[in-house]
Structure 1
Amino acid sequence: MKVGVILPSLTIQRRDSLDLAAAARHAEDAGLDSVWHGDHLAVGMPTVDCTIALAVAATATARIRIGASVFIPAIRPLVWAAKQVASLQLVSGNRLLLGVGSGGGAAQWAAAGVAFRERGPRTDTALRLLPGLLAGESVTMPDGSAVTLSPGVEVPPLWVGNASTLAIDRAARLGDGWFPSLITPTALAQGRERLNAVAAAAGRPVPTVTIGATGALGDAPGTPSRTELAAGLAGAYRHTARDAEELPVTGGPDEAAARLAEYAAHGANHVVIGLSGPDWRAQVDLLAEVRRRLPGPGDE
């Protein structure tokens, strides 16, 4: 199982005197497989643009994969989104993992000047046309015009975010992977059954499975407990109290590895964790210890 980490927020960067380049290098040196950044436009908190943050991470590192968790192509003109993605793939040396979503609150879509009700169809269109645009092929756009981007790049894996039935079906029909976040092992197993069935019906290979998680490792002073993290999840994401208690990855490396092994047993081969402990570097070092206790890495 491969393990990645969400890059620290601006708040954490300031608290720990840690910029994005240094954070990405630390994750790479620790032995993690990937670093990730979210894509937020108008969310009421300070945040760096996803493509800029990942470009910084890419140019500061040599091996580690860089990932969008998740990129929202549908709030952008599609060709512009493709140019951003192709540029990231180019400057990273083909290390990009592209999570694709259609989420975010209605305010974000309004800020982008895109009707919220159009998010589904626009995301489907993006998933259909992005591979050709990124590869430098001549692509016929929805308005009938033909577009060819240059330079063409190796098309990164397209992992469809969200745990909904709609997202599972979208991943099976149009994606290379399914990328649900904050999902219980039981829900993952159920979703994977549907993923397999829909992919088979469409005559497509079964997408890979990556999960997004949250956690706080170790027992240093100030480390949030499982109960504290669960309470936040129940309030912010409307999980039931029982499900919320199951979601955080906590404890020492052995305990956390056992928790993640449950997801691996249900087909997840990559996990991406947002860390909440008091020292981001120390949390990453503990996460690397967890990584070393897990089964061998899965395929992308």
Structure 2
Amino acid sequence: MTLVLDTCLRIGIQTIHRRTEPATGPWLPRIDELVALVQNTDRLGFDSLWAGDHISFPVPILDPLLQLAQAAVVSRRLILGTSVLLLPLRHPTPVAKQVITLDHLTEGRFILGVGVGGEFPKEYAACDIPHNERGARLAEGVTVLRQFFSGEPVSHHGMFYGPFDDVPMRPPPRQAGGPPIWFAGRKEAALRRIGRLGDGYLAYVITPEMYRDALATIDRAAMQAGREAVPFGTGHLLFTRLDKTYEEALDRATETLSVRYAMDFRRAAQRYCALGPPEMVAQRIRDFHAAGVRHIVLDLLGPYEQKADQMEWFAREALPLLADLTAG
């Protein structure tokens, strides 16, 4: 295998500011809410904190890079990441400046997750980006980012970006070569792109079996591209709900995700989520670990007001069941 995986499992938390789903009335996120969430994530022994991205979404959502910049002030330990930044909606040169800045603000504890999205074509139209160009723009955009991450003046003459010549951008990133870039994607073309270009794979809405197959496709593409054996991050964003019974957890997950994605999500929740008592949730995580996942990102479902309780419950009863995987 070309991809060199981590030896231990890490577990993080998805989303910082998010309003209750379903909900009505104004949504006014507070600084104290962010501080409490970051402190709890750190105190309870989680490894990372992640923020998602959309320009337009069925529920309110904030910019991920700005949220992570604020969160970086609170914790000196947590890894911070985007899950994922929709890079094709943005020009990569100003994104490079933002990412380099965030790499310094986090003191090198940043992972850049990128993807194409596409579930909501109107956000592409609003950004004046053709929907069918999103994959090609992602690949070229990452090339531009990495050129700027080098710390050397950049020249680029591409299909979508440029031409520009000898453009310096200082300072260089805190992490040598820049933050790791983890790609999302499910289709074969996206997986092959990850094998050619990615430092890691960050999946969501797939099963452990699908993850194992995707990793094999990525590995083949990496070998075909002539990449040497390199450390490779393997993450999965896992929709999760702890409850006394599976049925109660399924009801809450369905309610949350159906509002979030403006569709009936019950069958998808049954297939893709980790639901039920801590033992069932821990087993689902074990299944993903066996498929090659080394960084689970928990998106804890249900009312926002219950998130702290869900985090406490997971840390108290599910995390100890995974101690053999997280040690080291």
Normalised by the size of structure 1, how large is the TM-score?
0.88
SS of equivalent to 2:19: helix
Instruction: Decide whether the 8 Å contact of 1:257 with 1:293 is kept in 2.
Output: yes
Is the 8 Å Cα contact of residues 139 and 146 (structure 1) preserved in structure 2?
A: yes
Is 2:72 the counterpart of 1:65? no
State the AA in 2 paired with 1:263.
Answer: F
- The corresponding residue for 2:198 is 175
Decide whether the 8 Å contact of 1:7 with 1:23 is kept in 2. Answer: no
Q: Indicate if the aligned counterparts of 1:99 and 1:160 stay in contact, CA closer than 8 A.
A: yes
Match of 1:225 among 235, 249, 255: 249
The question of whether the paired residues in 2 share the 8 Å contact of 1:136 and 1:150 is answered with yes
**Shift of residue 69 of structure 1?**
0.7
Give 1:81's aligned residue. Answer: 95
Aligned-pair CA distance for 1:288: 2.4
State the one-letter code of the partner of 1:5: I
1:263 pairs, out of 275, 288, 294, with: 288
Q: Cα–Cα, structure 1 residues 74 and 242, in superposed 2: closer, same or farther, change >3 Å?
A: closer
CA deviation profile, 1:151-200 (whole Å, cap 9, x unmatched): 10121111101222122111110010111101101111111111111111
Query: 1:217, 1:277 within 8 Å by CA — same for their partners in 2?
Result: no
Residues 18 and 277 of structure 1: CA distance in aligned 2, closer, same or farther (over 3 Å)? farther
Aligned length: 297
Deviation track 1:58-87 (CA, whole Å, cap 9, x = no partner) reads 111110011101012221121101111111
What is aligned with 2:64?
50
Of 91, 98, 111, which aligns to 2:126?
111
Match of 1:33 among 29, 33, 47: 47
CA contact under 8 A between 2:186 and 2:203: conserved in structure 1?
yes
Q: Counterpart of 1:210?
A: 235
Structure 1: how far apart are the matches of 2:50 and 2:124?
22
- Paired position in structure 1 for 2:167: 147
Query: What amino acid is the match of 2:249?
Result: S
Between the aligned partners of 1:148 and 1:215, the Cα distance in structure 2 is 44
Q: Does 1:129 align with 2:157?
A: no
Aligned to 1:196: 219
Q: Where does residue 319 of structure 2 map in the other structure? A: 291
CA gap 1:15/1:84 in 2 versus in 1, 3 angstroms: closer
Q: Once the 2 structures are TM-superposed, how far is the Cα of residue 225 of structure 1 from its aligned partner?
A: 2.0
Per-residue CA shift, 1:26-47, capped at 9, x if unaligned?
1111110111111111224322
In structure 2, give the amino acid aligned to 1:150. Answer: R
Q: Percent identity?
A: 27
The 3 A distance-change label for structure 1 pair 243 and 50 is closer
For residues 266 and 83 of structure 2, what CA distance do their matches in structure 1 show? Answer: 25
Please state whether the residue corresponding to 1:211 is helix, strand or coil: strand
Q: 2:23 — aligned with what?
A: none
| Shift in Å, 1:227 | 5.1
Match for residue 277 of structure 2 among 223, 244, 252: 252
- Name the structure 2 match of 1:10: 18
Gap change, CA 1:128 and 1:292, over 3 Å in 2: farther
* Structure showing greater relative contact order (alpha-carbon pairs closer than 8 Å, 6 or more residues apart): 2
Contact 1:208 1:269 in 2 (8 A): yes
Amino acid at match of 1:188: Y
1:133-164 Cα deviation digits (max 9, x unpaired): 12322222231423221110121111101222
Q: Which runs of 5+ in 1 are unaligned?
A: none
Residue 240 of structure 1, CA deviation:
9.6
- 2:90 and 2:239 map into 1 onto residues whose CA distance is 28
Q: Within 2, Cα distance between the matches of 1:224 and 1:15?
A: 28
Q: Displacement, 1:57?
A: 1.0
Q: Greater CA deviation, 10-19 or 56-65?
A: 10-19
Q: 1:260 to 1:16 in 2, by over 3 A?
A: farther
Does residue 276 (structure 1) correspond to residue 296 (structure 2)? The answer is no
Q: Is the 1:216–1:224 Cα contact (8 Å) retained in structure 2?
A: no
Structure 2 CA distance for partners of 1:106 and 1:252, relative to 1, 3 Å: same
Deviation at 1:244, TM superposition (A): 4.0
